[in-house]
Chains A and B, each alone.
Chain A
């Protein structure tokens, strides 16, 4: 494949691809009318899209280090923006976030602010400078700026802890979707998910992941927006939901106070399958104090700026200038989905609870709801449950339970859309989870193969050998992630939030101060990384094992404590030890201007 031509033709290639995908949706819709079964449609959607990604992965195969690690540094701004958006929006954003908002309401919307505001920090504090550095991985920056194998290794440790926590959640999400769409047990479905993930990244590394991520973004954004608009119109809520759902938001508050909240007894709750939740609190009562809201948003913002799989995407742009612009495009593409998530949650909640709508189930008889098709399907998948706790024969608000991940996936069916839309949403969720998992597994495997193996263990290794090591690691890490995902320790949203906290605890200040504070030195950075990670982990374990916590910092925001320790440790230790040598200071000066050669590149 001739690279120059390929880059010039990108708009045309992805234009044809998008047209082809829409054509596929139409064919499926026609097939459904002609009697194709729901199950076959689900399988067709997931199989077709995964096949396309695998094909792109295969076509992008490479044997060059530059292409494998940073896609040859020639990804145009807008396309890099799309790839970053797919990289960023994970199973948590696509599958779980609207669910979180559905159950927890306003308080969980702090995640929306946190997961977008972080990009301002990325654009202004880090991305352009790390691009100028010319590194392959984030630990590569730490290792060169601060010098020494220990600093480099500490960065790899933090990166691995954060990314691994994150990746198990993504494999969990691919497993959930594969198990529902293909109708197989979750324990096997996670491995099907994993194989699809590896197909994209094995051969082409970053290059393969970049071009599949663009393709995945297109699928996931169509799959998210189409149902939102469709349901809104069908319900008569307005043709452009983003601007027209104010009445519906108010209506939910009204209905909630009308139904009232009943706390279920422990004995009743014991009969509900694990992981399902009901609505027992007003949507305005979670994270209601400003600090709870702000601390969650702040933790997510600083976490965003420290997550290596995002930062790594800006190493692939052709220039420093392009890196900055590319952050803007990334956020624009993310904005399209995030601004729709609360709308979807609103529509979904209203379709279920409003007795005036034909789809509402609250107040209907238990037997009637149990006879509904979608209820039976999702109940079978262990993601939905009703039970007549008070014995009055009708479904009450506190008697309906749903898995957080079912909200997005099941809403089209609940709202009475044709099944083709459910198949599309499954494909979108799969795309979101796969793209993020790919970015993460690649970040871990690259850090270990490049920073630990090549830079520390065997600096003379040939490119071919390095790339073999990188690929073997990719598979090993993937399988380890899938095995842990199959155990279902923590929900999707919970593990993702933890990953942000780990990343910010260990990496935020060492990265930022590396550019913005010349005096920061090796000892300080090591203290900051290890001290921050240890403090954050300790706090998490403490709160999880019954500790009371302090300052309102919860297990979801422990990164605030971790990063504070990291900052103090880094500043104190740096000031107590020698200032960095002249060469390092000159290097920092060089990083601060866009022109000239990259620090690491010989070009």
Chain B
């Protein structure tokens, strides 16, 4: 397998993990929306309510930065990162 194929394989793996986490926070939690609303979540808000207005949103921000760092590492590992830095 060429270097480039390996790089793409790893990038695709990272994508799958990223999308899985994304799925949990954007869809997974809300599959049980109605029932979980009875439960009290962080700061005393109803559980799903809190995820909708803060929890999931924050998780997405962290997820994107994490993804960007991991992808950079993968690019470096196979020598495909850009030379000039900003």
A243-B43, A246-B45 known; A77 vs B27 contact (CB < 8 Å) = no
Contacts of A249 in B (CB 8 A): 45-46, 49
When distances are taken between beta carbons in the complex, the residues of chain B under 8 Å from A324 are 64, 67-68, 71-72
Q: Which of B37, B52, B83 contacts A110 (CB 8 A)?
A: B52
A124 to B63, CA, bound (A): 10
A106 to B45, CA, bound (A): 12
A301 within 8 A of B: yes
Give Cα A386 to B65, complex, Å.
48
Residue B77, interface by CB 8 Å = no
Assess whether A593 is in contact with B80, with CB atoms less than 8 Å apart: yes
- Which of A125, A298, A328 is B68 in contact with, Cβ under 8 Å? A328
Cross-chain contact A120 with B33 (CB below 8 angstroms)? no
- How close is B28's CB to chain A, nearest CB, in angstroms? 10
Contact string against B for A residues 314-331, beta-carbon threshold 8 Å, 1 for contact and 0 otherwise: 000011111011011001
Query: With A77-B86, A110-B52, A593-B7 in contact, is A294–B31 under 8 Å at CB?
Result: yes
How many angstroms between the C-alpha atoms of A268 and B54 in the bound complex? 39
Residues 113 to 144 of chain A near chain B (Cβ within 8 Å)? 113-114, 116-117, 119-121, 123-125, 128
Given A113-B52, A124-B15, A321-B81: A290 touches B33 (CB 8 Å cut-off): yes
Q: Between A and B, how many residue pairs show CB distances below 8 Å? A: 143
**Are A289 and B86 in touch, CB under 8 angstroms?**
no
* Interface-located stretch among A60-68, A161-169, A205-213, A334-342: A334-342
Contact across chains for A331 and B60 when beta carbons are under 8 A apart: yes
Interface contact B80-A595, CB-CB below 8 Å = yes
Interface residue tally for chain B (C-beta within 8 Å):
46
Residues of chain B contacted by A243 (CB below 8 angstroms) = 43
With A321-B72, A595-B75 as contacts: A246 and B64 at CB distance below 8 Å? no
In the complex, the answer to whether B67 meets A124 with C-beta atoms within 8 Å is yes
Question: Looking at A109, A113, A284, A320, which has the most chain B CB atoms within 10 Å of its CB?
Answer: A113
B:35-80 near A, CB below 8 Å: 37, 43-46, 49, 52-54, 56-58, 60-61, 63-65, 67-68, 71-72, 75, 79-80
Query: Which residue of the partner chain B has the closest CB to A338?
Result: B57
Q: Are B61 and A328 in contact (CB under 8 A)?
A: yes
The minimal Cβ–Cβ distance linking A126 to chain B, given in whole angstroms, is 11
Q: Tell whether, in the assembled complex, residue A290 and residue B31 are in contact, meaning their CB atoms are under 8 Å apart.
A: yes
Given A290-B32, A290-B33, A319-B86, A331–B61 Cβ distance below 8 Å?
yes
A76 vs B72: C-alpha distance in the bound complex, in angstroms? Answer: 17
A600 at the interface (CB under 8 A from B): no
Residues in A with CB closer than 8 Å to B86 are 76-77, 318-319, 321-322
Is A247 close to B, CB under 8 A?
A: yes
Q: Considering the chains assembled together, what is the distance between the CA atoms of A112 and B53 in angstroms? A: 7
Residue in B8, B22, B33 whose CB lies within 8 Å of A121: B22
* B32 CB contacts on chain A under 8 angstroms: 290
The answer to whether A592 has its CB under 8 Å from any CB of chain B is yes
For residue A293, CB closer than 8 A to chain B, the reply is: yes
Confirm or deny: A594 has a beta carbon within 8 angstroms of a beta carbon on chain B. yes
How many angstroms from the CA of A125 to the CA of B19 in the assembled complex?
10
Asked if B56 and A117 make an inter-chain contact with CB atoms under 8 angstroms apart, the answer reads yes
Residue of B nearest to A74 (CB): B86
Q: Which of A116, A121, A244, A593 is in CB contact (< 8 Å) with B56?
A: A116
What's the least CB distance linking A596 to chain B, in Å? 8
User: Distance (Å) between the CB of B69 and the closest chain A CB?
Assistant: 9
- Give every chain B residue within 8 A of A318 (Cβ-Cβ): 86
- Chain A residues within 8 Å of B25, by CB: 117
- Alpha-carbon distance A449/B39, docked complex (angstroms): 54
> In the bound complex, do residue A120 and residue B4 qualify as a contact, i.e. CB atoms below 8 Å apart?
no
Is A339 within 8 A of B57, CB to CB?
A: yes
Bound Cα distance A110, B49 (Å): 10
Closest approach, in angstroms, between the C-beta of A490 and any C-beta of chain B? Answer: 25
| Interface-centre pick from B15, B75, B82 (highest chain A CB count, 10 A) | B82
Q: List 25 A-B contacts (CB under 8 A).
A: A106-B52, A113-B52, A114-B26, A120-B22, A120-B26, A120-B63, A245-B45, A298-B26, A319-B86, A321-B75, A321-B82, A321-B85, A324-B67, A328-B61, A331-B60, A331-B64, A332-B61, A335-B61, A339-B53, A339-B57, A342-B52, A343-B53, A589-B4, A595-B75, A595-B81
Return the 8 tightest CB-CB contacts between A and B, nearest first: A246-B44, A117-B26, A324-B68, A328-B64, A593-B80, A342-B53, A109-B52, A328-B65
Q: A residues engaging B (CB < 8 A)?
A: 76-77, 106, 109-110, 112-114, 116-117, 119-121, 123-125, 128, 242-247, 249, 284, 288-290, 293-294, 297-298, 301, 318-322, 324-325, 327-328, 331-332, 335, 338-339, 341-343, 589, 592-595
Known: A110-B30, A120-B63, A293-B33. 11 other contacts (CB 8 A): A110-B52, A117-B22, A247-B44, A284-B37, A301-B26, A318-B86, A320-B82, A324-B67, A592-B11, A594-B80, A595-B79
